[in-house]
Amino acid sequence: MLLNLILASFAALAVGAAPGWFWATLLRAPVDLAERAALSVAFSMALVPAVALVPTRLFGLGVTLPVAAGSALAVFVAGLAAHLRFGAAKGVEGPLLPSPAVPLSTPALVPLMAALGLALGVMVGALPADAVLPAITGGMVPTRSMVLVIALLVLATGVLHLIFSRRSAGTVEPASLLPAVPPTVRRLLLPAILLLVLARGYVGPVLHDWPFMRGVDHYSHAVMANRMMEVGRIEPYLIYPPGFHTMTASISRLTGLDPLEIFPVLGPALLLLPALALYTLGTRLWGWGYGVAAAFFTVLLGGTYYYFNDAMYPNLVTSQFLLVMALASLVMVYRAPSARNGLSLAILGSGVVLYHPVASMYLAVLLALAGLFFVPPLLVRSRRAGLALTLSLALLGALSVAYAWHTYDLGSEFSQLLGGSGGATGEAVGMAVNTQAAYPEGFLIGTMVSQPVAWLGLLGVFLLVVRARDSFGMPAALAHLTVFLWAVLLFAGSRLTVTGFPQRFGRDLGVPLALLAALGLIAVLKSLGPGRRPVAIFAASAVVLLSLSLAGTGAAQSLRWSVRPSIQMTVTPAIAEAGRWLEEHNEGGNIMVSPHVNQVPSRMMLAMGDYSALQSFEYAQILRPRDLPPTGPEPLMDVLRTVTNPAGERATSTFEKYDVRYVVLYKNMPDRPTADYWRRFEARPDLYPTVFENRDVLIVQTT
């Protein structure tokens, strides 16, 4: 595993970080090495798969070694050449609105003290709470009534702060209210947080998982990466954008490692991306301290760890990294409209479309609102800024359509709008609407977001409102409105089943709230500033202590749960042995896998055996079409009929129809019950001779 980690890390740097190194300084002027690293990764992830898809689409190639190496080299050389020709971007001094958090007024501290005290009591089990299993960041979440009480107390804090705030319009709170951070601490604090993030990701897999990996979705991602290497396209396995799997295929080609060998060693490192993205956005908006605080709060986010623990890597990469980096570029367009900032927004924003459809939906709604409400006033007050935003949004839209055209068969969808026959994408979207329940309030706040982030983030919303009263110019107003709309969009989407993905909205809600929680935390710390009355100092001290205790307890609980064995471990050594046998004997054709409680068991064998069909589902899931592959229900019903009656005439015709060479039957699984389909095949050795068997799996050959 150590050798795999070294090989995969160097390959990941070669295709996922180095190609964007000069693009980072060409299109933006990073404030420090951390922002440059974040930008380099973002531009690499946006550009390398886009370039790699050109030969795969034009010539019908897979992602071969020349394609993988050539794409990364082309992006690197193009960035270097442009950098030498046009030079580095000019820097913008300081953040958009330096140190915007203002000390909380004394009346506002009282309800906040009560709110944080109740939240801490729930977290440590001193107050009534609901136990949630499986837990992501801790085992106790607030009851629905407790959520309401704490939310009302934070609301009272915000209202009282609005009323009693005596700041004059247009003033910015001096940074001297906080003690100066020593240079040594300033240099080490962000690296220490990033090490904490890495520990959260790696300790659990190293102790319990290796050589396997927690999560269930990585089997699907392995199948899709293998298809990108073999044929350069994902369909008909799933309707899915190819960005993440093109990057995985490139790493696989450079190292010789299979995707299932790459994910265990590189998957935990993806947790760094949200921290770097929020650091970049927070620093650009308000300054270094806010960026560091926002990066720290990613350690508390249950939604972020959920994506990792479930191996939902494209979600993590897109909605919690590329989208955030695109919003940071949007902020720069507001502040310093230029061709470089506009191109940065177009590249990073369109890159979102290459990786995940739900994050693309977030971005589309946000940018549509920006175009509708922000462009007209910008054109009136600053023609240059309005034109820059308009042109960058137009370029972003054009690139997004180009990227999405093949994946979602947009030609068929446009044809349907004009009265023709539609494609599979529209049907898939229609099938998702109103089919997923929203998370209960306590689980959303206590687990997916985590209480420290939720309550300090809600406080941060009110602080934005306070600053909205003051005149800081159009760029600051638009940037704050964008952050506000981002948070509101995700919260609304997490409560409405009509979005089709309320749980994904809920998992991503913690990202904007982590940014706003940084604003809330620093406002709390500033409340200990000089020149305050003893009562105010006492109240502020209590609130600071409760805030730090809440954040510290949340971080400790998050780390404690991350180092435990994961329940999302579907494979066993015996199952892996069967997978190796399938790969060694893969001479073409397809396999059939017995269905067991959703599609994961079949996709696991497909991934390990290097196949992409047939998938298998239980009957109840076939009736619920949300998760079906684009091939439709008929192949799934054929599998179900065959394993139910393997001696029937239909079984033989099914094997011939799909060129099935082996039938894989689970006898035992570690995380779900198994049906005894295997006994029906074992009872007919004349029809199905056994070619492999161990305690967990039986593999028979079709005749």
Note the pLDDT tens digit of each residue in 259-314. 999 999 999 999 999 999 999 999 999 999 999 999 999 999 999 999 999 999 99
pLDDT band, residue 171 (cuts 50/70/90): very low
Mean pLDDT of 553-577: 91
Each residue of 333-346: pLDDT tens digit? 999 899 999 999 99
Question: What's the pLDDT score for residue 162?
Answer: 82
Q: Which of 71 and 411 is assigned the larger pLDDT?
A: 71
pLDDT tens track for 280-294: 999 999 999 999 999
Q: What is the mean pLDDT of the chain?
A: 90
- Report d(CA 187, CA 183) in Å as an integer: 6
Q: Report the alpha-carbon distance of residue 686 to residue 493 in Å, rounded.
A: 55
> CA of 218: how far to CAs of 88, 215, 224, 312, in Å?
39, 7, 10, 7
Residue-wise pLDDT tens digits, 107-136: 999 999 999 999 999 998 888 888 776 667
* Total count of residues recorded for the chain: 703
Considering only CA atoms, give the Rg of the chain: 26
**Confidence tier at 502 by pLDDT (50, 70, 90):** very high
pLDDT score of 567: 83
Percent of the chain whose pLDDT exceeds 70: 92
Tokens of residue 96, six digits: 């958009």
Q: What is the pLDDT of residues 84-103, one digit of tens each?
A: 999 999 877 788 888 787 88
C-alpha span between 161 and 155 (Å, rounded): 10
Q: How many domains in the chain?
A: 1
* CA separation for the pair 359, 319 (Å, rounded): 5
pLDDT at 185: 82
Instruction: Report CA-CA distances (Å) from 602 to 66, 223, 323, 673.
Output: 32, 11, 32, 14
- Look at residue 664 and give its three-state secondary structure: strand
88 lies in some domain: no
Q: Which span out of 134-148, 328-342, 471-485, 621-635 was modeled with the highest average pLDDT?
A: 328-342
Q: What's the whole-number mean pLDDT along residues 223-250? A: 94
pLDDT value for 100:
81
Report yes or no on 119 lying in a domain.
no
Judge whether 343 and 389 are in contact, CB under 8 Å.
no
| Helix 33-59, helix 272-285: angle, nearest 10 | 120
* Closest-CA residue to 24 (of 429, 287, 348): 348
The larger pLDDT score, comparing residue 12 to residue 235, is at 12
Band (pLDDT 50/70/90 cuts) for residue 362 is very high
pLDDT for the residue numbered 434: 65
* Percentage of the chain exceeding pLDDT 90: 68
pLDDT of residue 533: 80
Q: Is 13 exposed, middle or buried (0-12, 13-18, 19+ CB in 10 A)?
A: middle
Does the pLDDT value for residue 173 go beyond 60? no
| pLDDT greater than 90 at residue 36 | yes
Question: Residue 423's pLDDT is what?
Answer: 55
- Specify if 608 maps to a domain: yes
Label residue 176 by pLDDT band (50, 70, 90): very low
Residue 582: pLDDT above 90?
Answer: yes
Does residue 230 lie in a domain region?
no
Specify if 237 maps to a domain: no
Q: Is the separation of the CB atoms in 319 and 331 below 8 Å?
A: no
Calpha distance 498→435 (Å, rounded): 8
Burial letters for 619-652: b for 16+ Cβ neighbours within 10 Å, e otherwise? eebbeeeebbbbbeeebbebbbebbeebeeeebe
Per-residue pLDDT at 177: 44
Structural domain range at position 595: 573-701
Number of H helices, E strands in the chain: 32, 6
d(CA 83, CA 94): 23
413 or 53: which leads in pLDDT: 53
Of the given ranges (230-234, 472-476, 656-660), which has the lowest mean pLDDT?
472-476
Indicate whether 382 belongs to any domain: no
pLDDT-derived band of residue 426, with 50, 70 and 90 as boundaries? low
Nearest to 162 by CA among 400, 410, 467, 411: 467
Question: Average of pLDDT values for 387-415?
Answer: 85
Residues 6 or more apart whose CB falls under 8 angstroms from that of 683 comprise none
CB within 8 A of 358, min separation 6: which ones?
315, 319, 501, 504
* Predicted TM-score of the model (pTM): 0.93
- 588 φψ region: left (φ > 0), alpha (ψ -120 to 50), beta (else): left
Average pLDDT over residues 49-74: 95
Output the pLDDT for position 568.
84
Residue 546 placed within a domain: no
* pLDDT (tens digit per residue) in 24-33: 999 998 989 9
Give the pLDDT score at 469: 60
Closest CA to 517 of 277, 193, 301: 301
